Amino acid sequence: MANSILKGKRGVIFGALDENSIAWKVAERAHEEGAEFVLTNARIALRKKDIFTLAEKTNSQVIAADVTEISELEDLFTEAVQILGGKIDFVLHSVGMSTNVRKGVAYEDLNYDYLEKTLDVSAISLHKVISVAKKLDALSDWGSIVTLSYIAAQRTFSSYSDMAHAKAVLESIVRQFGYHLGVDKKIRINSVSQSPTRTTAGAGVSGFNAFFNYADAMSPLGNADADSCADVCI
């Protein structure tokens, strides 16, 4: 049941690809709770066009931006502030990609060009997002930034490959920038470590069904679904 806890809040939501995306669920819940926001993803992801259905449903606008490109992030936050009529109260960073995983490259034989891309897209992009928004003074005091992590940052899941490194770096950025933004602007940064979830990205990991079922059996309440993760983010 919605309680309007985000009424009057402005946000930017990265990474809604289709209705299986956690970012998609967060956007739906944020809208239910009264938030206004812009949706953003890379141009190649926008070709799928599902995000425009979400935009219509949530009365939001879509801005294309490559999360690894500083100039595009600058344009994104400048435009978002103009569209929403004020500074940004919340950001959801729900971004991750590994070409090594997609192409089935064995961990012990990683393609290092792919690894650099994995780290840039899946982790360093969070630093870029925050840094750009801070330099533009686009973030409200007492705001909130949430990113999505995974337990592979601390534990070994062989098929998760270099994405595990990316999540470890991501969590380090949360801690480091969390200190600086906390001191400077009273902004909290949190990472949410979600259960194995049948998203478009998650289902592409080799052996996904095996560790989905294992995690489900090991958890007293079973795996949390994407809607439950969205509730935590909200």
Taken in order 40, 43, 44, 50, the sign of the CA dihedral is: positive
Residue of 93, 89, 84, 119 whose CA lies nearest to 6: 89
Among 114, 150, 179, 214, the active-site one is 150
Encoded amino acid at 18, one letter: D
Secondary structure percentages of the chain, helix, strand, coil, to 5: 50, 15, 30
Q: Is 160 a catalytic residue?
A: yes
Residue of 36, 20, 7 whose CA lies nearest to 229: 20
Quick one: how far is CA 76 from the chain centroid? 16
Among 107, 112, 114, 160, the active-site one is 160
| In contact, 155 and 170? CB cutoff 8 Å | no
Greatest CA separation found in the chain?
50
Q: Which residues carry out catalysis?
A: 150, 160
